[in-house]
Each structure stands twice: as structure tokens, then as C-alpha cells.
Amino acid sequence: MSVGGDEAIGIDVGGTKINAFRVARDGTIAERSSMPTPADDEAATLASMVALARSLTTPEVLAIGVGAAGMVDTTDGVLRFAPNLAWRDLPIAQRMRDALGLPCQVDNDASMAAYGEFRFGAGRGYRHLLLVTVGTGIGGGIVADGRLFRGANGFAAEIGHFIVEPDGPLCGCGNRGCWEQVASGGAIGRVGRATVLEHPHSLLFRLADGDPSKVTGKLVTQAALQGDEVSVGIVAEAGRRLGEGIAGLVNVLDPQVVVVGGGVIVAGDLLLEPARASFVDAVEGPEHRPRVPIVPAQLGNDAGAVGAAALALEELGRVMV
């Protein structure tokens, strides 16, 4: 059998940016390209993905993998619903196949990132992994016994939307008190905006020019990293809620390792130490189970596209065998 090459295109479609890479089987990124996401225009979003894939495709490329932010039906590669975006029923796999004549595997972006970390990042050497991505919201991916766990439709691991506070803040999904409303970068920003005026001598107050509307999760994290006590406290509280949620998920899934990624992970141990402490307090029988490391992700923003490419190649192997 003659095989032209051993590479895949991996695409990560987020609410603000589309990342596309040409990736070798060993996870090496051979070429990268990106575009802003025309998030309010479904047709333009699909067209941008096709254009990026086309610009990267060489004779070496055997398949395309796409990770998209939202609920992706993996049986037909359609993105059904994105809670924070206008997308509904986006036929991603079909469009990519028609335009490029290559097999296309579509999955949720965090699931693809979990697969990337599992193969080439912080999850190497483990067979059971939970990825928690903490950004504006919270995403998740589950690798169980070396395979991505998708559920019946591909909707598994929407971990940001389990309800931890029934009367809590309203979520983009329409419910109240989802986990991502208390433990994400969005939550850090919201608490910062609500409390900054109580702390006029804080660095956070100064960085925001005393204007609560200028306070974001990113700004609070930045102030925390510079030692601002108020901000350290806000990040720590989010970390504590993060650890509680992780404990619940570990009770359900029994992973060997929990990898935490997403934008907020720049806070490092300011987030992870409180998370580790509350995890041990909340998980069932901590003294009767192997320690579950809670570690930072290693691939950063590349994880989704690298994982998508790796998964596309793997699915291809499965079909060809």
C-alpha cells in the first residue's frame, strides 16, 4: 500500500479564534495558521475553517480533525449547540469532506485538548485522564482506558454545566449555578468587579483605574500574580470551588490524573494549591485511594488542534484496519 504521508490537519474553533495546524503523527507541528472567528456568521465560520484547512493541505495530509467549542454530535460531525455562541447545527464534517475530499473527525474542543494532553502533554504515560479547561467557562475531556469517552452522542464531559449552586449566577446555557459560574475565569472577573470598590488600596483597584467595568478574570489573575492580596483571595476561592468540583468528578470517573488547562492556568499554584486542598477535603476516602495528581496542562493553546489531528489519524487507522 502506498501512503502519501503521515500527517493530519488539526483545527481548533473557539469563539474568538480558529487555530489550524499541520501535524505529524508524533505530534510535531509542521505548520500553523490562524484566523479570527466570524462567530456571529455560521457560513463564514465554516468557510474560514475550509480556507485554513485548504491552505495547509499537502499530499502528506491524510485526514482532518476539528475541535469545536460546543456540543458536537460525533456520530455525524455536527456541532448542535454552543452555549456562549450563536452556532446551531453546524455541519462541520460534511463541509470539510466535501471541500477537501478527506475524512474528517469532529469533536468538542476540550475533548480534543484532552486527547492532545493524553498523547503528547501532561497526560503522557496515563490511561485514565480528566482534563478540566478553565477559561471564560469550564470545559472538559475524559480519556478512559486510553480512549476518548464521548457518551452516546458525543455530549459527554460538558463538565462546566453541572449545577453546584441552584440559586447561583445565571449561566450561558440558561441554568443557574453551573460549576463554570463559580470556578472559571468568568467567575473570577465577576467577583472582582463586585468587590474591587471595597478595596481602594489594592493593586487590582489601581490596575482597573477604580472602574469595576474594567475588571476581568485576566486582570484579577495578573494582579494576583503580582502579589495583590485581594486578587490572590479571589483566585484562591475559584480554586477552592474548582477542587470541590474535581472531587465530584473523580468520585464518578476515577482517573489517574487531572490535568488543568485553559487561560486561567497562568495563575499556576495560586489556583491549583487551593484546588488540591479542597479536592482532598471533598473526594471520597482520600486516604484509601492512590493520590490523584492535579497538574497544569503542558500544550497550552495548541492542545486542541494537536489532539484533533492525532485523533483524526487514529480514527483513520481504525477504518483502514
Q: Which residues bind Zn ion (CB under 5 A)?
A: 161, 171, 173, 175, 178
Nearer to Zn ion, 156 or 178 (CB): 178
For Zn ion, the closer of residues 14 and 123 by Cβ is: 14
User: In this complex, which beta carbon is closest to Zn ion, that of residue 65 or of residue 245?
Assistant: 245
**Nearest distance, CB of residue 109 and Zn ion, angstroms:** 16
In 2-125, at which residue ranges do the beta strands (DSSP E only) sit?
A: 7-13, 17-24, 29-36, 61-68, 71-73, 78-81, 88-90, 104-108
Nearer to Zn ion, 48 or 184 (CB): 184
Reported residue count of the chain is 321
The b-or-e profile of 128-164 (16+ CB within 10 A means b, else e) is bbbbbbbbbbbbbbbbbeeebbbeeebbbbbbbbbeb
Query: Rounded to the nearest whole angstrom, what is the least distance from the CB of residue 230 to Zn ion in the complex?
Result: 27
Task: Name the minimum Å distance from CB 82 to Zn ion.
Answer: 12
Tell me how far, at minimum, the Cβ of 133 lies from Zn ion, in Å: 15
What is the closest distance, in whole angstroms, from the C-beta atom of residue 100 to Zn ion in the complex? 34
Neighbours of 174 (CB within 10 A): 9
Rounded CA-CA distance 19/301 in Å is 9
User: Mind giving me the DSSP string for 177-220?
Assistant: SBTHHHHSHHHHHHHHHHHGGG-TTSHHHHHTTT-GGG--HHHH
Please identify, using beta-carbon distances, which residue of 91 and 169 lies nearer to Zn ion. Answer: 169
